[in-house]
Chains A and B, each alone.
Chain A
Amino acid sequence: MSGLGGLVIAQADYPQAMGTITLAHYLFVSGAMFALGLIGFLTRRNMIIMFLCTELMFQAAGLALIAFSRYHLNHTGQTFVIFVLTVAAAEAAMALALVILLFRKRESLNTEDWTEMSG
């Protein structure tokens, strides 16, 4: 039982509180990542890249959730990121199947080839 003597843990200061300004750093990074994803979604015309940009926005949301989870020391934030990952996986599967379907019809990934779908 020699291991019982040591106090080595990965997050030795885990329950220590995080300051609001430290939280602000993470929130800014999260917001900037979300803005990048939004800009990519608006400007790129390749359907696959547009979906990749939505994944970037998911990432930004996940980062904000984890940062708040750390701030409030409440693990529900981390649990919610698990569900964000689930939804992202489901979305990727469906969206990529649709992209494959559309690509087979026109041999193109350009969203502007499908403007008649806007009705």
Chain B
Amino acid sequence: MDALISPLVLYSACALGAVGVALALPRKGASWRVPGALLAAIAGGVVILALGLVANASGQLPNVYFYVFSALALGAGLRVITHHRPVYSALYFILTIIASAGLYVILAAEFMAFALIIIYAGAILITYLFVIMLATQAPVEGDDEFQADYDTKAREPALAALAGFVLLAVLTTMMFGGLKSLREPPVQEAAREERLALATSPLKIERVLRDTPRRDDAGEPMHDEHGKPMMMLGPDEEIVRLPPIKGQTMVNFAAENSVLIRMPDNTTRSTNPRDWPEELQVSNVEMVGRNLLADHPGTIEIAGVILLMAMLGATVLSRRQVEIDEAAKAHEARRLHGLDEEGAAA
């Protein structure tokens, strides 16, 4: 079984990356940051290029924005671990988050992309920034002499880079080897998911139809006297008027990847839900919400408990103990009282 890309290329790129990252880590004296980052970028580029050649041969090249966002994410990630000022590290991490959100969008996970930006960049990283600013002495601008020693000097950069890139080499070897044993992209499962999601679609169709105007352009009423819609999708996906329907199911699930619509004259036809108009399509948010609430209701409870415990723990841990004895309390009370009296006299 031959590897996806030549092991020689992969391992030498990993070694090059290790050298680059080790050089780029903060150190005292001469700064090797730029050459180190360049070496690491070349190493990453070589692997991506080798992958791209294989992908090009089989027509599976990723979206071009994949390259932009992954370069941004990895570059900013390198800067997170090499910048000697914690605040800048946190800001570069926000850049990593935003680039990752771009990758999520390419992977058709819009909801998670925006949730990532809101939760990570908007909430978690702001907490980090606050703590960094609370717990760090402000350095004099442009003067690294006053920086804390533990920020300007990495601990064992060579060994750590070796460990990290040995891990990366092993991971990529395993992953690229295992890819061949993956099932082919499962079209059947897509159909299953689609049917699952379409279980709610009759309601959606009803909603769209109910929201239609009461009269069409010609002034004909589009609902019967009970307010039931009198139209549905026609053969060419246009709206056709229906005779009033009495609680019959318009949509059935039939063959894979298709939906059977019962027509007014009791004939049926099947359409692919992918070809439906936008209002009737099921979006990523709906799919994720369905998966979250239908398949993992218990996990949501556990997540809630974890968050509650974290909140309690953080409150208890960071509470500052105010030590004040009886005499001081009495003195304080007298002072306040005196001030109040003066205020009243004035």
Q: Which residues of A contact B (CB under 8 A)?
A: 1, 3-11, 14-15, 17-29, 31-40, 42-46, 48-49, 51-53, 55-56, 59, 62-63, 66-67, 69-76, 78-79, 81-83, 85-94, 96-101, 103-104, 108-112
Minimal beta-carbon separation of A16 from chain B (angstroms):
8
* Interface size in chain B (residues, C-beta < 8 A): 119
In the bound complex, residues from chain B placing their C-beta under 8 Å from that of A48 are: 86, 128, 131-132, 135
A-B contact pairs, 17 of them (CB 8 A): A19-B58, A20-B180, A25-B48, A25-B51, A25-B70, A31-B171, A38-B163, A42-B159, A43-B154, A56-B77, A63-B104, A81-B116, A86-B303, A89-B119, A92-B128, A96-B127, A97-B317
* Known pairs A43-B81, A93-B314; A75 contacts B163 (CB<8 A): no
The complex places the Cα of A86 from the Cα of B124 at a distance, in Å, of 10
Q: B6 near A: Cβ within 8 Å?
A: no
Minimal beta-carbon separation of A111 from chain B (angstroms):
8
Q: Is the CB of B51 within 8 A of A96?
A: no
The interface bits of chain B over 174-202 (1 if a CB of A lies within 8 angstroms of the residue's CB, else 0) are 01100110101111011001100000000
The complex places the Cα of A29 from the Cα of B59 at a distance, in Å, of 20
B-side interface mostly: helix
* Known pairs A76-B295, A109-B136; A28 contacts B47 (CB<8 A): yes
Q: Is the CB of B74 within 8 A of A33?
A: yes
Minimal beta-carbon separation of B24 from chain A (angstroms):
10
**What 6 pairs between A and B have smallest CB-CB spacing?**
A17-B185, A40-B81, A19-B60, A90-B310, A42-B160, A39-B164
Identify 15 new A-B residue pairs, CB closer than 8 A, beyond the known A14-B284, A45-B155. A4-B277, A4-B278, A17-B186, A22-B62, A25-B70, A35-B165, A39-B163, A43-B81, A49-B151, A55-B124, A66-B112, A74-B193, A81-B116, A82-B292, A93-B127
Q: Closest chain B residue to A103 by CB distance? A: B135
Q: Is the CB of A28 within 8 A of B51?
A: yes
* Known pairs A17-B186, A85-B115, A97-B314; A24 contacts B179 (CB<8 A): yes
Q: Which residues of B contact A (CB under 8 A)?
A: 4, 17, 21, 25, 44, 47-48, 51-52, 54-55, 58-62, 66, 70, 73-74, 77-78, 80-81, 86, 89-90, 93, 96-97, 100, 103-104, 107-112, 115-116, 119-120, 123-124, 127-128, 131-132, 134-136, 148-151, 153-157, 159-161, 163-165, 167-168, 171-172, 175-176, 179-180, 182, 184-187, 189-190, 193-194, 208, 212-213, 233, 237-239, 274-275, 277-279, 281, 283-284, 287-288, 290-292, 295-296, 299, 303, 306-307, 309-311, 313-315, 317-318, 320
* Known pairs A1-B239, A28-B47, A78-B288; A22 contacts B60 (CB<8 A): yes
- Interchain pairs with CB closer than 8 A, number: 318
Minimal beta-carbon separation of A17 from chain B (angstroms):
3
Q: Is the CB of B303 within 8 A of A83?
A: yes
In the bound complex, residues from chain B placing their C-beta under 8 Å from that of A69 are: 107, 109
Q: Which of A20, A28, A72, A103 contacts B172 (CB 8 A)?
A: A28
* Known pairs A48-B131, A78-B109, A103-B135; A71 contacts B185 (CB<8 A): yes
Q: Is the CB of B104 within 8 A of A6?
A: no
* Known pairs A9-B281, A85-B120, A94-B313; A42 contacts B155 (CB<8 A): yes
* Known pairs A21-B60, A79-B291; A70 contacts B109 (CB<8 A): yes
Q: Is the CB of B89 within 8 A of A52?
A: yes
